[in-house]
Structure 1
């Protein structure tokens, strides 16, 4: 799972810079190679997170960021990264006997799907692929590249381990949920709320009405299933919040950590604040998952929700659990059952974030 990013500014920057391609590396001294495919990748915690797992499992593997850096720290825009096009990436990994799997991030999460051999239910329902793993065709023995989405696993596990779900997995079943955002992370959260959390309906709040309509349009196009029976309901104004008969005890925020500036951003923030200040359910029963973890997981919105008495779950938790699921698919090992490994992963992520904090605060 990539950090929630400002896709508009990224797209503008990419248009300004020529693509730079480098060879797709597969170091000869390694037994297995996973990739991180997409851009920008400069601040990704995925490679060191996976290295923590490989080291613990005594695997001679690595995850390589597959991109080239352009720009410099002394120029504006700051350095960004570019990855090779799909038509170069996929033939390379098909032919590579050391390839074990790949993380997929912006801008390839949607466009790569049609080029893969198969997709899981998660990828189809969410409409995005963040993970490629290998499956052997039982009849031909051919190596198949399968796309899935583990971001939803990250959302599920981050919520499941939060109060009150940690003691009662069905605490939110039959109750509404709320998504704040309209991008790929919001789609993963919708799937998790429908599939595992058991929400009765899902409210969605976003600055861009067109993004909400895109989510609704995609949802209508999918094959009818029990998931689609859980409606997605846009909420556009604080007055609409006041008219609801039941407020959500679980909220997932999936937007970048920027203060609202435009009229639509200010409106969306006001709607969120109205939800946060609702008096029902009791404070101790409410969970707020802040999916943005870059540059730091404790965001302005997390602070706002905390001030209204919500239990805060940080996006770094979702990052950890989606990575653990990727490692399970790639290694074939139950990562959670390895003694001491999950605490080690959590200590690494917490330590990395803590080390970045002084530099981030200095630049604010």
Structure 2
């Protein structure tokens, strides 16, 4: 029987689509750990009660996804420097008796670029939501000059002021040239937006393209980038690396990056099979 100290999980609303339970339970089994990872669909108005339950039960660790990443900052005992700088928490873990909010999205985003030797000096980030926060923070920390574009001009300008970047008009994004193009919008995601691309023209001027969408793995944007000879990075790469960092925090163990990618590719293939 698994006690509270063996319980992990993800909290969000909704969370039925999340691949985190499958990946973490695969990693737990592979390490022979007597733990289990669950999903908790919690509405925003019940988040305070959920965190109280985490404290009371001593639940080992929690992944935090939309729409709770910002509000969670005010519900923990401590916030890591990185999470505070990004303005979002995606991981809960214990440090002694303190419940800590951390952020592994920055590590997850940067790791594939570093491993591939493709850390850019300039980038255009499409999207100005929570995912874009981690992307912009990570790129600027590594010294890159970052431009941002969002479909809502006013929101994009506010985001740019907040992150120390410069906003370009969404309709003019195709005129921008930079080493790296990052899609941090849901355009291309499985479902109603799968056939859509956030990019309106050719990719001249970009050396690499990074699409944070991971379902489907091969998005319209990444297919275009490959066809035009660009280096590509999938959202699945970021997902695996940020999960590795969480798993390490909770268990002190590792899981194989390549094996995890193979597992997830197989899982996604089964999910999309008619």
Report the TM range for the smaller structure's normalisation. Answer: 0.7 to 0.9
Q: 1:183, 1:211 within 8 Å by CA — same for their partners in 2?
A: no
Alpha-carbon RMSD across the aligned residues, in angstroms, is 2.7
2:273 corresponding residue in structure 1: 358
Are positions 1:123 and 2:77 aligned together?
A: no
Q: 1:35, 1:103 within 8 Å by CA — same for their partners in 2?
A: yes
Q: How does 1:1-364 map to 2 (within 5 A)?
A: 28=2, 32-67=6-41, 82=43, 85-97=46-58, 99-136=59-96, 143-162=97-116, 164-165=117-118, 172=120, 175-196=121-142, 198-199=143-144, 201-219=145-163, 231-236=164-169, 247-258=177-188, 269-270=199-200, 273=201, 276-278=203-205, 286-294=207-215, 296-333=216-253, 335=254, 341-359=256-274
Q: Provide structure 2 residue ranges, at least 5 long, that are not aligned to the other structure.
A: 190-195
Q: 2:92, 2:100 within 8 Å by CA — same for their partners in 1?
A: yes
* In 2: Cα distance, 1:211 partner to 1:237 partner: 11
Q: 1:133, 1:146 within 8 Å by CA — same for their partners in 2?
A: yes
Q: Secondary structure at the match of 1:51?
A: helix
Change (3 A) 1:327 1:84: farther
C-alpha displacement at 1:30, in angstroms? Answer: 7.0
* In 1: Cα distance, 2:23 partner to 2:172 partner: 44
C-alpha displacement at 1:28, in angstroms? Answer: 4.6
Q: For residues 125-158 of structure 1, what are the alpha-carbon distances to aligned partners after superposition, in whole Å with 9 as ceiling and x for unaligned?
A: 111111111111xxxxxx1111111111111112
Larger radius of gyration: 1
Q: Secondary structure at the match of 1:312?
A: strand
How many residue pairs get aligned? The number is: 269
Q: For residues 151-177 of structure 1, what are the alpha-carbon distances to aligned partners after superposition, in whole Å with 9 as ceiling and x for unaligned?
A: 111111122233x43xxxxx53xx211
Please, what TM-score do these two structures have when normalized by structure 1? Answer: 0.67
Q: Secondary structure at the match of 2:147?
A: strand
C-alpha displacement at 1:308, in angstroms? Answer: 2.9
* In 1: Cα distance, 2:170 partner to 2:132 partner: 19
Q: 1:116, 1:145 within 8 Å by CA — same for their partners in 2?
A: yes
* In 1: Cα distance, 2:64 partner to 2:53 partner: 15
* In 1: Cα distance, 2:219 partner to 2:259 partner: 24
C-alpha displacement at 1:250, in angstroms? Answer: 1.5
1:139 corresponding residue in structure 2: none
C-alpha displacement at 1:121, in angstroms? Answer: 1.7
Q: 1:235, 1:241 within 8 Å by CA — same for their partners in 2?
A: no
* In 2: Cα distance, 1:30 partner to 1:119 partner: 23
Q: For residues 249-287 of structure 1, what are the alpha-carbon distances to aligned partners after superposition, in whole Å with 9 as ceiling and x for unaligned?
A: 11211111359xxxxx99x744xx36x223xx6xxxx22
The answer to which structure, 1 or 2, has the higher relative contact order (CA under 8 A, 6+ apart) is: 1
1:3 corresponding residue in structure 2: none
* In 1: Cα distance, 2:183 partner to 2:123 partner: 11
C-alpha displacement at 1:45, in angstroms? Answer: 0.8
Q: 2:188, 2:221 within 8 Å by CA — same for their partners in 1?
A: no
Q: 2:112, 2:238 within 8 Å by CA — same for their partners in 1?
A: yes
Q: Provide structure 1 residue ranges, at least 5 long, that are not aligned to the other structure.
A: 1-26, 68-80, 137-142, 166-170, 220-230, 260-264, 360-364
Q: Secondary structure at the match of 2:258?
A: helix
